Structure 1
């Protein structure tokens, strides 16, 4: 039975009003599509978004950094680094800025297949980033979370014999220096989030009160036509007891503005990049939509 279908029915039963939101416009990227963005983060006095930039007919992308006006306009930062990556993410661990994405290259054959690895960088800001870890081949969605006691909670997403189409794992590390391929292989899997033919992965995670981590993730499936359906989800994870709350869908594609799609099988796709939650405004969820545009919508706080 489809676990994603059950979650979707539960979400639609809420009958939430159509949320306010905006399509984000990017200048400085030419004719390329810009999507699968991070939530905004501060670099000095500038609000910055990192996003995936690529031609419509390609998946060999670059990650570029843009100054964000807080509503709908992004302008390329001309002096910022450019990375040959997909699907950027960031975290702050101690005094360091941690940045990462998925490195993609053709397989060593003539099949046209791609292979990928998650690459992590560290620095004091985006201008001083240097690579420090490359994940195992075939694994996306590796996400480190800095904890108040100095330790690091690491989310993983194995595929294949261990993780099927994609299952979330977790492991507690003493520090970033403890991050190795061996440690990733030892991660405990979160069983039962989706059915065997479906997949999921962590997109971002946030330290809450009382040893709790708010987790933003995606769940996905193929529908009867072979098209991909992606949804934004959340749950809360206690890194001391390893208890987790029930997974829930918090957004689907039709809540966002209509727009183009990279391909017909990607129309019903949102890829959550991050959340902005403040006391003074409605929480915002930032997503790539249909693998070619970037948008945000206002949502209820998914961790309350």
Structure 2
């Protein structure tokens, strides 16, 4: 079954209980999108967001926002060292690890990008500690049941397409402590096969340890389509799957959100009108989850859906 067919079947049977566009105060003239999941620190609820002017690309920075109401947040601190990339967070023990994409320029022109990682127990004093491989986004960490740390990688490029048919792959490896997180370790993570079809790409956006010892993955999966005028459109969908670190098997991949699930709104460019770049999920008291996502590379949104890992265990 093609991903386009999966998307059509999902939209025909989808259950969306709430749908909202997030509001960010104190950033007039700028968009906030491709956010981290909301998280609680010191009794307050925060998120990191990419802040950028609509007409610019890769001239953004990461800013910390404090939630002030339902789907509303106020501007906080600017996080130096992260430019242009979607931020994400993981709690490893009592530390918060924040990552994102750093774009480099030479002579005023785009050169390359890297994943940067920051850590610390004080949210307002996170410090840089390592860099990922050249031109690799969507590197994600997850604490495992044995106390070690799982790492998901996301190589993408012509080499992947020529060898595997898909535009990208997802790799997975394990380290004992954060000090072992290096570009070489990430680059050499063995691949998980069978996730993406021909011409598809995607990656992990947030990973959650389940009480069965497996990992519940929330990510994005993508393909190219055409608009009514024949122009190229990049379709980004919210997806989930189950990964077993012991057997390295993935299962139960499903589409859990698409652009039509979120409120109508603008896009940064015509080829991004069908784009929802996943952030992750947050459990609700009613057993459902709030799924957060960037929308059209210029907004952020939330939808409430059924728990996507039903039958596989609960979040630890």
TM-score normalised per structure 1 = 0.92
Q: How does 1:124-135 map to 2 (within 5 A)?
A: 124-135=121-132
Q: Distance in 1 between matches of 2:15 and 2:286?
A: 21
Query: Corresponding residue for 1:294?
Result: 300
Residue among 195, 211, 214 paired with 2:213:
211
- Shift of residue 187 of structure 1? 1.1
Shift of 1:70: 4.6
Q: Bigger shift: 22-31 or 249-258?
A: 22-31
Q: Tell me which residue corresponds to 1:188.
A: 190
Displacement over 6 Å in runs of 4+: none
Seen in structure 2, the aligned counterparts of structure 1 residues 204 and 63 have a Cα distance that, compared at 3 Å, is same
Q: Could you say what secondary structure the match of 1:246 adopts?
A: strand
Count of equivalent residues: 299
Of 32-41 and 237-246, the range deviating more from structure 2: 237-246
1:30 to 4, 12, 28: 28
Tell me, which stretches of 5 or more residues in structure 2 are unaligned? 162-166, 311-316
Match of 2:51 in 1: 53
Aligned 1:1-304 pairs, distance under 5 A: 3-13=2-12, 15-59=13-57, 60-78=59-77, 81-85=79-83, 86-106=85-105, 108=106, 112-160=109-157, 162-164=159-161, 165-224=167-226, 225-280=231-286, 282-304=288-310
The Cα shift of 1:180 comes to 2.2
Distance in 2 (CA, whole Å) between partners of 1:160 and 1:287 is 24
How much has 1:269 moved relative to structure 2?
0.3
Counterparts in 2 of 1:251 and 1:137: CA distance versus 1, 3 Å: same
What RMSD, in angstroms, separates the aligned Cα atoms of the two structures? 1.9
Tell me how far 1:231 sits from its aligned partner.
Answer: 0.1
Assess if the C-alpha contact under 8 Å between 1:202 and 1:216 holds in 2. Answer: yes
With normalisation by structure 2, the TM-score equals: 0.89
How far apart are 1:177 and its partner, in Å?
Answer: 2.0
CA contact (8 A) 1:65 1:82 kept: no
1:132-166 deviation line (CA, Å, top 9, x unaligned): 11011110001111123221110000123553332
Structure with bigger strand share is 2
Taking the aligned partners of 2:55 and 2:18, their CA distance within structure 1 comes to 31
Aligned partners of 2:102, 2:298: CA distance in 1, in Å?
A: 18
Deviation (angstroms), 1:268: 0.5
CA distance in 2, matches of 1:37, 1:288: 7
Cα deviation code 1:179-204 (max 9, x no counterpart): 22222232111222222322111100
Q: Which runs of 5+ in 1 are unaligned?
A: none
Once the two structures are superposed, what CA deviation does each residue of 1:57-81 show, in whole Å capped at 9, x if it has no partner? 2222111011113512111125x64
Cα distance change, pair 179–266 in 1 and its aligned pair in 2 (3 A): same
* CA–CA distance in structure 2, aligned partners of residues 196 and 149 of structure 1: 35
Instruction: Select between 36-45 and 189-198 the one with higher mean Cα deviation.
Output: 189-198
Q: Is the 8 A contact 2:61 2:79 kept in 1?
A: no
Structure 1 contact 169–187 (Cα < 8 Å) conserved: yes
Distance, in Å, in 2 between the alignment partners of 1:61 and 1:229 is 23
